[in-house]
Amino acid sequence: MSGEPGTAAPPVSAGPAGPHGAGRRAGWAMLVTGIIGWLASFQLTLDDWRTLQDPSYVPACNLSPVVSCGSVMSSPQGSLFGFPNMLVGLGAFAAVAALGAAVLSGARPHRRLWLALDAGAFAGVVFVHWLIGQSLYELNKLCPYCVVVWIVTIALFWFVTLHCLERSWLRLPRGVHGLVRDTQWILLGAWYAVIALLVLTRFWDYWSSLL
């Protein structure tokens, strides 16, 4: 995310920042998204294990023909790397939450660690959007706990990226920088809104039947 020399704008401003203030928002984002993501991954892991132990077990998240976790977990997309995807979430979200707690306690991770975290979060976002496409247009199912993981992964990437921009570890062309600075919450809301619109239109017949 680099512009041409001389075209990069100053770091994005996100409010008052003390010695550690620039990282506090990212620290809270990591802690909160890490905990929520870990809990969702843990519940999926627990339901998957119970299903393996008892094929007749029906996860609590199997709410309807459309809103269902069981069929998503048992699908090939649910074990893309040869093992359940939720195991990746258990490890990754635990590490993110621990790092967030460290930042809020006063730790100052090296620039390379922040950039590595941002790169990992970006990979997570790419993976999440692939899963969104698979859920909506291949599996035709909506897994509630998976939706939680989608939400927190996007938030993690967004706030870590903003932190890297604030510290000038990432740079954007001036026009793009100004847009992000002035509309960062609007852009994040629009991102979620597009996904919500896709979910709404894809299963419109089901949602309308509930009215």
Residue 123 to residue 162: CA distance in whole angstroms:
16
Closest among 166, 128, 159, 133 to 146, alpha carbons compared: 128
Using CA atoms, how far apart are residues 181 and 200, in angstroms rounded to an integer?
30
CATH of the domain at 124: 1.20.1440.130
> Would 5 be classed as within a structural domain?
no
Task: Indicate the number of domains in the chain.
Answer: 1
Does residue 205 belong to any structural domain of this protein? yes
Residue 12 placed within a domain: no
In a domain, 99, yes or no: yes
Q: pLDDT truncated to tens, each residue of the chain (211 aa)?
A: 444 444 444 444 333 333 355 588 999 999 999 999 999 999 999 999 998 899 889 988 999 999 999 889 989 999 988 999 999 999 999 999 999 999 999 999 999 999 999 999 999 999 999 999 999 999 999 999 999 999 999 999 999 999 999 888 988 887 887 788 789 999 999 999 999 999 999 999 999 988 8
In this structure, is residue 1 part of a structural domain? no
Which residues touch 126 (CB under 8 Å, ≥6 apart)? none
The pTM of this model reads: 0.87
1 touches 170 (CB < 8 A): yes
